[in-house]
Amino acid sequence: MDGSHYPYSIHSTKQHKKFLSEGDENSMNAYDNTVVKTDDYIATLINHMRKQYPSSWVFYSADHGPRQGLGRKSGMFNQGFNKNTIHNPLLISPPLGYYSQLKMNTNRPISQADIVLTILDIIDMKPHENINGKSLLDIQDSNRLRVVSKYMPTQHNEQKAVLVNPDLSYYFIDFYKMSVTMPNGKKLFILKVGINSINRYLLTNIQFCQIKFSMPINQKLLIT
């Protein structure tokens, strides 16, 4: 699936160009036309699945949002923790019997990591204890904090992460410098070296669970 990528103008077909004129290849209209194409694709997929496999589930999530805002130069995937990049919709099309369970979480803080736990819950499998995330078939804590990390040994190795509050403010953690920057901008340094020191500090001062290195994105749940 193509999605919305630079330059936007080449990522939508003629039939999907509803917003004209596009003008610049990365204009807002050009971007909106890529969304029209994506909407059409997802609708076609969901309608097919509902007809052919009525008990099926469809999960749709972007891997990230616009890195530096629409109409601006593209950056690397892990270039920053701006809201456009790390806060994105998660669309789920479930069998009819699950709508009420999922709707409990439409206005609660959820994470991309919850997709795996939800699928395991659907197929009645117990997850490994080190898997981050929560099943969306259970109601989520309205005060939940979520992790977005740049540290992925398989691809990136930048030892930084954020803990995202429900209001999308966040604590910025630099594991190399052993520092935590609070949402108000105040920076604190942890003198004792080691990931366990960071965990102990967060458990004491932020009431958050231990950090697990991953790249979940904090999301807004949509049910269709």
Cα radius of gyration rounded to whole Å, the chain: 19
Q: Is the pLDDT of residue 172 over 50?
A: yes
The encoded tokens of residue 31 equal 């971007």
> Of the ranges 59-73, 106-120, 174-188, 205-219, which one carries the lowest mean pLDDT score?
205-219
* Strand, coil or helix: 49: helix
The distance in angstroms from the start CA to the end CA of the chain is 19
Backbone phi and psi for residue 33, each to the nearest 5 degrees, phi listed first: -70, -30
pTM here is: 0.80
Are 87 and 217 contacting, i.e. CB atoms less than 8 angstroms apart? yes
3-state DSSP: the chain helix, strand, coil percent, rounded to 5?
Answer: 30, 20, 50
Q: How high is the mean pLDDT of the chain?
A: 81
Main-chain dihedrals φ then ψ at residue 16, nearest 5 degrees: -100, 0
In this predicted structure, the answer to whether residue 175 has a pLDDT above a threshold of 90 is no
